Amino acid sequence: INAVVEGWRIPRVPPNYDLRTALETAAAESGIEALAERLRVIDPATAARSGNNARRIIRALEIHDATGIPMSELEGKGPPPFDTLEIGLTAPREWLYQRVDDRVLAHIDRGLVAEVQTLLADGISETAPAMSSLGYRQLLPYLHGECSLDHAVARTQLDTHRYVRHQETWFRRNPRLVWFDVTTPGWQEAMMTRVGDFLRAPDITVPVG
- Evaluate whether 4 touches 80 at the Cβ level (below 8 Å): no
Distance CA 110, CA 54 (A): 35
Q: How confident is the model at residue 208 (pLDDT cuts 50, 70, 90)?
A: low
**Interval 39-82: pLDDT, tens:** 999 999 999 999 989 999 999 999 999 999 999 988 877 777 78
Task: Return the domain boundaries, the chain.
Answer: 11-76, 92-175
Q: By three-state DSSP, how is residue 194 classified?
A: helix
Domains 11-76 and 92-175 are alike in CATH topology: no
Q: C-alpha angle 63/6/13, rounded to 5°? A: 15
E strands, the chain, are 8-9, 76-77, 86-90, 177-181
Confidence of residue 3 (pLDDT cuts 50, 70, 90): confident
Identify the DSSP state of 52.
T
**pLDDT classification of 206: cutoffs 50, 70, 90:** low
Architecture of the 11-76 domain: Orthogonal Bundle (1.10)
Q: Are the CB atoms for 184 and 194 separated by under 8 Å?
A: no
Which numeric CATH code is attached to 92-175? 1.10.287.890
Q: What is the pTM of this model?
A: 0.68
